[in-house]
Structure 1
Amino acid sequence: MSDVAATAGVSLATVDRVLNRRKGVKPRTVERVLKAAVALGYMEAEERERLSGPRPPNVAFLLPKGGNPYLRLLGDKVRAIAETSLRDDVPVRCFFIESFDAGALATALRHHARWADGIAFMAVDHPLVREAAEEVADGGTRLITIVSDLPHPGREAYIGLDNQAAGRTAALLLGRFCRVREGSVALVAGSRNYRAHAEREMGFLSLIEEAHPGLRVVGMREGHDDRNENYRHTLSLLEQNPDLVGIYNVGGASDGIGRALREQGKGGDVVFIGHGLTGDTRRLLIEGTMDVVINSDPDQTIAQTLARFSRPPDAPSNGDAQRPLAMEVIFRENIPPQLKG
């Protein structure tokens, strides 16, 4: 590579970017490097032909790290794609960012925009993130929000559920499943800084007020998708509200809520609805502690994101960018098989 750099009259870093098809190299420089590489016998003409063609976009996924099993599952699937991709596939990498930290996400957006053509991220609704998104988009990096949106002219699309509809669905089911017309219901969230969680809360509250006025909402507890925090919140809710008849977990770490319900002998009495079909929620459904899981297929989230990045930014989307992902409503009796591998 040093010989190629010297012959082409460029830096070693530029040769690395050309051979690994990274952004930031002018087409004429690419051709000069490839010509030198062939002349020196560093590569065959066939390889030069491949590297001369349009390169697939480099894509980064930025997800919150922490105790949310659904987001871990999503990250594992992205990393599996990265490890098994063929050389002409869209190059994908996945990074976990400190959860609920707008500053950390803004820093990550700017950092990964140096090499990524496109960034898919679960947005924190905060001025720091909006400012970073505008800066990165103005620099030419394409942005797609997943799971939780950040309405902003710099982002190209949102891929995820209609979260307000998800909240209304949860309220409809919880109200129907309750055996009483009056009682207390509670909400647990990761953080309202995620628009997805705030929208689910909004949808839930609106339908409860419309259709089930006898159910009293006792307020939102933020558990930061931590099973131990959710466990303590649930114990407190049960102690302070003897008439508690339902819990809606708009975020993750449902196993903490399920543990508290089991310990207090309330697993069959309190209607429990949550999000994301993962190992913990599957187990809670089967044992009867959880009644409903609202799910969006992580494979579809990834597939639609990569398909969008594979098209030119100005290509017609056929409405895909505006159509939310299909909402799966899963009960104990319709749990899909747990596929291996």
Structure 2
Amino acid sequence: MSSEKRRPLPTITDVARKAGTSTATVDRVLNRRAAVRENTMRRVLDAALALGYLHTGQVEALREPEPIKLALLLPRGTNPYLALVNEKARAFIEHHHRDARVKSFFIDGFDPDELSHSIRRHGKTADGVIFMAIDHPSVRMATNELVAAGKKVITFISDISTSRRHAYVGIDNFAAGRTAALLLGRFTGHVPGRVALIAASRIYRAHLEREVGFLGLIEERFPHIAVSATREGHDDRKQNYEHTRRLLEKHPDITGIYNVGGSSDGIGRALQESGRAQEVTFIGHGLTHDTRAMLADGTMDAVITQNPDRLFEAAVAAAMGKEGTQVPMELYVAENLPQE
């Protein structure tokens, strides 16, 4: 039996002595507990490797920048497109992004106070917050506070005015509204009639911009079309159903409906029950399982959308200070539907 003594394993104290730092600094470097100057971090990791306290793979992992921590705030409700965005966000981070860690949270999408509170609360522990903005003073204030604290703030799908947010990621909503008006006007022909708009809420700048774009082009190109006052359905399929049912009963001359927001399935249900699904032109937003089905059976005529994978990839890139926040607008009809 060998009498040679086995060399004791190195300790944090040994690493600190060799690196010329305190044990507290070594602990911060090895456990990423707080920011440490690059030169200090390099000395600690070199010492840990030389002493055999860490192996090469562990040191290389610690030399990599720590993944950015992001909070994604999504409106809760029955909007299938936003549920799809949340699903795609989780899948994207899990499979494609080792440089970012994202947690998603559903909140009341129509309550500016809850959104402001969520921005502040999640901004304390995250490096950045991505959210669908409500254009409200309290939300702008919370946004500016977070930016002043050195955090990244990215709006997506719907932007916020006069704030210090770093970037908006999404389509040009004014152009989307004009596109919907052009399609609806051409599809309904030159016969005088009435079209109706259903939005989630004008507190979303995206919906307001779509509405303004739509109304502007209808007035310019199709003056023979009357437009009913916009109904707010709060992206709720039941409310959208009730609005549509009452509109169809009150206005037998309706030739088209533009859903500015989501939850188009409620509108489709009312059209189908009325027996007018094949005669009323219906255009909406968000390519999801329900809108696919309605395009296929002729209840919907066109869907304007933004690819959730591209949307979230661009939002994460913006939070990391990279280029590429442009998300192209996509237009689908029954004949060009992509594979799910």
Q: Same fold (TM over 0.5)?
A: yes
Q: Secondary structure at the match of 1:261?
A: helix
Q: Secondary structure at the match of 1:181?
A: coil
Q: Identical aligned pairs, as a percentage? A: 50
What corresponds to 2:19 in structure 1? none
- 1:58 shift after superposition: 1.8
Q: Conserved in 2, the CA contact under 8 Å of 1:85 and 1:91?
A: no
What corresponds to 1:106 in structure 2? 116
What corresponds to 1:337 in structure 2? 339
Q: Secondary structure at the match of 1:58?
A: strand
The letter for the 2-side match of 1:82 is I
What corresponds to 1:157 in structure 2? 167
Query: What TM-score do you get using the length of structure 2 for normalisation?
Result: 0.85
Q: Secondary structure at the match of 2:229?
A: strand
In 2, Cα distance between equivalents of 1:171 and 1:288: 19
Q: Conserved in 2, the CA contact under 8 Å of 1:78 and 1:93?
A: no
Deviations 1:87-132 (A, max 9, x none): x432222222212111111111111212222222110100110000
- 1:243 shift after superposition: 0.7
The letter for the 2-side match of 1:60 is A
In 1, Cα distance between equivalents of 2:286 and 2:212: 19
- 1:76 shift after superposition: 0.3
User: Which stretches in structure 2 are left out of the alignment for 5+ residues?
Assistant: 1-10, 17-21
- 1:79 shift after superposition: 1.2
Number of equivalent positions: 321
The counterpart of 1:294, out of the listed 279, 300, 304, is 304
User: Which stretches in structure 1 are left out of the alignment for 5+ residues?
Assistant: none
Q: Conserved in 2, the CA contact under 8 Å of 1:254 and 1:274?
A: yes
Asked if residue 281 in structure 1 is aligned to residue 283 in structure 2, the reply is: no
The counterpart of 1:213, out of the listed 190, 215, 223, is 223
The letter for the 2-side match of 1:268 is Q
Q: Conserved in 1, the CA contact under 8 Å of 2:73 and 2:105?
A: yes
* RMSD over aligned Cα atoms: 2.7
> Larger deviation: 91-100 or 211-220?
91-100
The letter for the 2-side match of 1:52 is R
The letter for the 1-side match of 2:286 is G
- 1:167 shift after superposition: 0.3
Deviations 1:291-319 (A, max 9, x none): 0100111111111122233346xxxx4xx
In 2, Cα distance between equivalents of 1:67 and 1:95: 15
- Kindly report which structure 2 residues correspond to 1:89-104, keeping only aligned pairs within 5 A, or say none: 89-104=99-114
Counterparts in 2 of 1:153 and 1:128: CA distance versus 1, 3 Å? closer
- 1:163 shift after superposition: 0.3
What corresponds to 1:60 in structure 2? 71
What corresponds to 1:118 in structure 2? 128
The letter for the 1-side match of 2:162 is H
In 1, Cα distance between equivalents of 2:162 and 2:41: 34
Deviations 1:202-260 (A, max 9, x none): 00000111111111111111111111100000001011111111100010000000000
What corresponds to 1:197 in structure 2? 207
Query: What TM-score do you get using the length of structure 1 for normalisation?
Result: 0.85
Stretches of 4+ aligned residues off by more than 3 angstroms: 7-11, 24-46, 82-86
Q: Secondary structure at the match of 1:111?
A: helix
